[in-house]
A and B are shown apart, each in its own frame.
Chain A
């Protein structure tokens, strides 16, 4: 079954949220309407509650590019999605296309995970594949990487993704709010949301690893 049809089944089973997006069905003749979950109640008022209406998935990338303060949302799991709009969609293919702009591969990753077919990558594997200036990131210590997870990841740092990776095959993440997070912002029950899954450390985390690795290296140099 295609990803779009599996998505339809998920919605029929009671799921209505992914990340910060609320997914509503059959609103004013549209099979699917998505909006920021904080706007969900308003969007069911007449004329979508005065929210800016976008028909079709074409504007999804623009809506997800910048935060309300104008900053670039460099990671798509960031919990700073703009409010004030609704997107009306004609079918589940368009819904899937829109969701893949807001949360790239988010639905597919969840479906693969549910089917037991999602491969994850350790941080060491990810760092060992970096090139150019990011090559140095691989020298970060395990302790430094564990600290970065606490300081960079999780809802306290505006990331809504559930971390599935380890530092290395035999080195799981230490317990923290970030490592425990379930990928569902807003405290919704797991039966009502598609969790955002982090199968590999993101490029922002890699960049932070590089900075931390350099700081560790500088500290070692000063100590000798």
Chain B
């Protein structure tokens, strides 16, 4: 359902950002541009942990007295539960700070509508490929420090497996915990494999580290913005046909998921 216009409210998209290259924050700005172009909010801004404007500067960007904050993060975890609330001084779902009312929404990655985006990505990267002969792997960082980062991916695996999309198998795999993405060819019993990185941006992990683990690059290459062309699919490697997509967060329609989180906030907290 389309979101009702909020001409008196601001949307604040929060990202991680990087001091190393612009690839990390590009999707956030694109999501902001997309939502701004729809004229739903009075204003749309981004703020970051590792880039300007910082979260502490965000309050000085905003005119509106009501601000919806959506973490453009793939999972709930340390950043969404500790860092963002601390930096924005949020104490609950709705907090008044400096005379402005902040509504703190859930991160995009945990929304059920991510499932549709993953399936869209998979179809686009492997057009005409028979799902029955294909394994779909959703991959993320994984860390022993926080189970939430893997939970978001495992939830998506279950949703897609139950969706009737027809893939021979839908699996989760991680960079730093089992099952390891480096063993993708052993996990997949089908000739075709599609790997979707469950990250917001084509930053270090999805664009540089995982291709090495998959075996489509021999060493960590240049950042996405420093390459003249994006990689070509498919890759014929380890006796399989491998399709590797760009990070799920680079999908322009992720803007819809941001709006879905705003709608869900209103519904759950009875603001609409």
Contacts and interface: CB of A to CB of B under 8 A. Distances in A.
Interface of A: 2-4, 58, 61, 65, 72, 74-76, 100, 104-105, 108-109, 111-112, 118, 121, 129, 131, 199-200, 202-204, 207
12 contacts: A3-B61, A4-B63, A75-B19, A75-B52, A108-B61, A111-B60, A199-B56, A199-B57, A202-B52, A203-B19, A203-B51, A207-B19
Contacts of B19: 74-75, 203-204, 207
10 nearest A-B pairs in the assembled complex, by CB-CB distance: A104-B53, A108-B60, A104-B52, A105-B53, A105-B57, A74-B19, A2-B63, A105-B61, A76-B52, A105-B60
Interface residues of B, number: 23
Nearest to B79: A131
B204 to A, nearest CB: 13
Contact of B86 (A129, A200, A204): A129
Given A72-B20, A72-B21, A74-B20, A3 B53 contact: no
Contacts of B86: 129
A76 B33 CA distance: 20
Interface string B16-41: 00011110000001000100000000
Contacts of A131: 78, 83
B50 interface: yes
Contacts of A109: 57, 60
A2 B65 CA distance: 11
Report which residue of A3, A108, A207 has the largest number of chain B beta carbons within 10 angstroms of its beta carbon.
Answer: A108
A104 B56 CA distance: 12
B225 to A, nearest CB: 8
B54 interface: yes
A2 to B, nearest CB: 5
Contacts of A3: 61, 63
Contacts of B50: 203
A204 B20 CA distance: 10
B45 interface: yes
B256 to A, nearest CB: 20
B161 interface: no
B33 A58 contact: yes
A76 B50 CA distance: 12
A79 B50 CA distance: 20
A105 B58 contact: yes
Interface string B55-86: 01110111100000000000000100001001
A111 B59 CA distance: 12
A197 B88 CA distance: 20
A54 B52 CA distance: 23
A104 B61 CA distance: 8
Report which residue of B50, B52, B62, B63 has the largest number of chain A beta carbons within 10 angstroms of its beta carbon.
Answer: B52
A51 B60 CA distance: 33
A52 to B, nearest CB: 20
B45 to A, nearest CB: 7
A61 B53 CA distance: 13
B60 A118 contact: yes
A3 B45 CA distance: 14
Contact of A100 (B20, B22, B61, B78): B61
B63 A200 contact: no
A200 B50 CA distance: 13
Contacts of B29: 61
Given A76-B52, A105-B52, A131-B83, A112 B60 contact: yes
A105 B53 CA distance: 6
Contacts of A58: 33
A105 B55 CA distance: 11
B56 A72 contact: no
Nearest to A100: B61
A32 to B, nearest CB: 18
Contacts of B22: 65, 72
Given A58-B33, A105-B61, A200-B54, 5 more contacts: A2-B63, A4-B63, A105-B53, A109-B57, A203-B50
Contacts of B61: 3, 100, 104-105, 108
A13 B35 CA distance: 34
Nearest to B18: A74
Contacts of A207: 19
B56 A121 contact: yes
A9 to B, nearest CB: 15
B57 A104 contact: yes
A137 to B, nearest CB: 13
